[in-house]
Structure 1
Amino acid sequence: MKAIVYTQHGLPIEDPKALQDADLPMPLAGPSDLLVEVRAVAVNPVDTKVRRGAAVTEARVLGWDASGIVRAVGAEVTLFAPGDEVFYAGSLTRPGSYSQFQVVDERIVGRKPANLDFAQAAALPLTSITAWELLFDRIKVPEGGGEGKSLLIIGAGGGVGSILTQLARRMTGLTVIGTASRGLTQQWVRELGAHHTIDHSKPMKPQLAALGFEAVDIVVSLTHTDRHYAEIVEVLAPQGQFALIDDPETLDAMPLKRKSISLHWELMFTRSMFQTPDMIRQHELLNRVAQMVEQGSLRTTLSEHFGDINAANMRRAHALVESGKAHGKIVLAYA
């Protein structure tokens, strides 16, 4: 089968060897696995981080967002059948989605929204799971709750932010404030449902004050947390909540003590990596996302389609993600 691989970590994305086309053997489904014919994939920051930082001794397939068609199922599979259209984000511990076929545990797979094509659907899984787990599992905002409280999303125009903004606006009573540094991205965030937008490249406290917020109850930091950390602590209300998904080199929790701020870290791969007893929650929440998309209460965050799934196009996609100038999701699909 066709696949895209990397064989040496740390190469600049301009180097043709950073991502290469390859032919690999067809994978075999285990007892609880689906064999999926991949039709489309989306590119996430984790793809570029692994390519740059994870050393390999053999060719590795990246990719943690896909949609496709189930072609075979393992002996213990009960949730899906051959021919089902699905979407999912896969596992860090298994080969990724930059390939014609992929094996994935059924417990982290959802049914593809019927009103989306494969490219539109591929933009959703990883960011939807991350945003959902942040909001409802880590911060524990009740569905329909949060009335009278404020949520500041730093990096609201990115993939996770684009979904988190929608979920918070449509499924909670929180006042949503999204940050973005460019006018185009701020407009995107407002279209997704943010009540207010501010520019995180400028001091945030005076911008919040101008909107009438002395402090905010919840901050979710999705990018450059180390750059914004001191200001995050400053703008959070006493007994507030702080959640993040990125990887600052260090994070000193001591500044949170004075205000009794709680700290929450989200990694959507935790359940699949540790095979947690509640791993099927990701199947359930992806089905909820599909239902919301079909009802029109949630939209795909696809922003750019980079064409066929091949190494040249994938290098272009990685370059845009690494530039920090992407908004929404970049998707590629097999013709």
Structure 2
Amino acid sequence: MRFFFKLFLALSFLVCLAAGGLWWWANQPLELRNSPLDFRVNAGSSLRSAASQMREAGMVVDTNLLALLARAFRADTGIKAGSYSVTTGVTPLQLLDKLIRGKVTQGEMILVEGWTFRQWRARMDAHPDLRHETRGLTEQQVAERIGLATTRLDGLLFPDTYLFDKQSSDLDLVARAVRAMDKRLAAEWAQRDAGLPYKTPYEALVMASIVEKETGRESDRPMIASVFVNRLRRGMLLQTDPTVIYGMGEAFDGNLRRRDLLADTPYNTYTRAGLPPTPIAMPGQASLRAALHPAVSEALYFVARGDGSSHFSKTLDEHNMAVNRYQRGAK
């Protein structure tokens, strides 16, 4: 009996020694190739494969000891996939806590109201935290990859600030923005004012994109929408410069000339009645709301005052006077 008791004490001592050694290691700073050190844990990774990914990124970590530590906390199967960042001084215990809690680092992308998809794409292509899967694809191919049958994505993505797991696919970001626009447009369409001259939510989206490009001040959006809605109801041409510019594409050099207003394209609202065939930009929430809840007015014209706001007129004579006053400097 005395032998077994001594053996028990010896084993207990060894267990305590091992536990103490593991605890000491768990609280020692890990060696990092650089600080901060970014690494990614792929979806479905075990703790051992995650440790391999961390070593490849430049972290010196003992896989066996990390696995033992995780087992001690019953967390060896509870790590979260995603992008992580650690700095000098991080310990195995702190690292494990990050992995268990899923304290991933996030990238941020601001997609701007009024921009086209070409402009948004340039910003995404330059973002270092995205995985660029759209490079080399046409706009139509990008649309197809996210399940859309269209050649143009303008108007279909909702402008917002998007947070994402670093090294997420830019296709995933585009798909999120499309879903966000679908949700916002559906909500506004369901509560739209009665009697609007739109047959479909898409037509309302086209109108919202025009309002977005024509408005310098958010408070003017409902009145801008009212002018265009009144024109549609009367069968008048919309005569809005941003649609002409959009139709010119890369041929637009920053100056809109009279000959441009006379050159017919599907987007020239000086030569063609009704709405253009597609949105011309990405409208924000305020423009969506204005298109589906325009102000009640008899205004048919507006002109920029030069301070970001617009002057609205019921008649052409009144409009011409406003043009003389605000754009030609007449008193």
* TM-score normalised by structure 2 residue count: 0.25
Q: Which has the higher Rg, Structure 1 or Structure 2?
A: 2
Instruction: Name the structure, 1 or 2, with higher relative contact order (CA <8 Å, separation 6+).
Output: 1
Structure with higher strand content: 1
Structure with higher helix content: 2
* TM-score normalised by structure 1 residue count: 0.25
